[in-house]
């Protein structure tokens, strides 16, 4: 299984991935707002919540600000 389909966050963080220009940006963050801040540090593109996914119940799903 490619690493972009598995959770990659450190202990006590949630796994997120952001669809960047060249592929997935893997992120470990406490919440979706933190994940968006980390995504902004990793790309020069405009950041959009619609491009963020959260790892839940064994798979990545679209994230909301409540995640």
Over residues 22-38, the mean pLDDT reads 96
Q: What are the CA-CA distances from residue 13 to residues 21, 28, 29, 66 (Å)?
A: 24, 6, 5, 15
d(CA 3, CA 47): 22
Evaluate if residue 51 carries a pLDDT over 80: yes
Residue ranges of the domains in the chain? 3-62
Over residues 44-61, the mean pLDDT reads 95
pLDDT of res. 1: 60
- At 45, list the tokens: 């593109």
Question: Greater confidence, 35 or 1?
Answer: 35
Percentage of residues in the chain having pLDDT higher than 70:
97
């Amino acid at each position: 299984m490619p690493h972009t389909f598995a959770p990659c966050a450190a202990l006590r963080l949630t796994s997120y991935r952001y669809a960047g220009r060249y592929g997935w940006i893997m992120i470990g963050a406490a919440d979706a707002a933190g994940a968006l801040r980390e995504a902004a540090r990793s790309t020069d593109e405009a950041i959009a919540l619609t491009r963020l996914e959260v790892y839940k119940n064994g798979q990545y799903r679209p994230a909301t600000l409540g995640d």
